Amino acid sequence: MNAVPFSGCEYVERDIYSIWPGCLPVREIQRQDWHQECPGKLSRKTAHTLTNYFLFAVSVYRNILVTSIIPRFQYPVIMTLTDSQKAEVKTTMEAYAAAYKNKDILGLLAVFSPEICGFGSGPDEVVTGRDSFARQVQRDMSQATVNGVVFTDTQIFGDGRVAWLMTKSAISFSLPGEKMQTLQGRSTMVMRNTGSRWQIEQIHFSLPYGGQQAGQSFPGA
């Protein structure tokens, strides 16, 4: 046992089991010499009472930690958005689709965060911030006419002011002098509620890899 000074007196530590059911062992501080006087310090009775209160508080805290707090970290509660919040997220998606179709760059900038980041389907389509996003959108609009953007099979998740989603994305477009084509892609997005609206913070649009068939985890497997 280790002697520990406390208010000028000698105390010792020893392992005990708390009087609180189901608790882990705690350390109890006891006097080594109950007859030793401590001039100007706490009385023996007061020190003993405070020690008992302290040990009881520790035992209660540990009981709460073991039975309540730790299990929450091991098995976290899955949060989700309300139906109203999900409807707001879908409204933002629709505003994005309409602005993209109408070549409304200002409308797009209002929907996307200044810190927007993400990937497109092209090898050089990398967005890091509003400026690079604006350049990418201008390039898109200069090369083709977008006839429509349709989101289907959308799944929305979230927690508080943050939402994330996955959706199928069909983008119909026409190149000069050619027939309309459709990119059957997939998108993920992360949105944040600013307090007045939802803004898109991250976006990723991609196409299934043509060299990888259904049922294959790797091309040619």
pLDDT at 201 over 70: yes
pLDDT exceeds 60 at position 185: yes
Q: Is the pLDDT of residue 28 over 70?
A: no
Average pLDDT, the chain: 81
Q: What is the 3-state secondary structure (H, E, C) of the chain?
A: CCEEEECCEEEEEEEECCCCCCCCCEEEEEECCCCCCCCCCCCHHHHHHHHHHHHHHHHHHHHHHHHHHHHHHHCCCCCCCCHHHHHHHHHHHHHHHHHHHCCCHHHHHHHEEEEEEEECCCCCCEEECHHHHHHHHHHHHHHCEEEEEEEEEEEEEEECCEEEEEEEEEEEEECCCCCEEEEEEEEEEEEEECCCCEEEEEEEEECCCCCCCCCCCCCCC
pLDDT tens for 108-156 read 999 999 999 999 999 999 999 999 999 999 999 999 999 999 999 999 9
Comparing 35 with 101, the larger pLDDT belongs to 101
**Mean local confidence (pLDDT), 180-196:** 96
What's the pTM? 0.64
pLDDT band at 29 (very low <50, low <70, confident <90, very high): very low
Q: What is the pLDDT of residues 38-93, one digit of tens each?
A: 455 556 777 777 777 777 787 777 777 656 665 555 555 556 899 999 999 999 99
pLDDT of residue 205: 96
Q: How far apart, in whole angstroms, are the C-alpha atoms of residue 94 and residue 13?
A: 67
pLDDT value of position 3 = 44
Q: Which two tokens stand for residue 206?
A: 């991609």
> How many Å apart are CA 210 and CA 146, to the nearest integer?
23
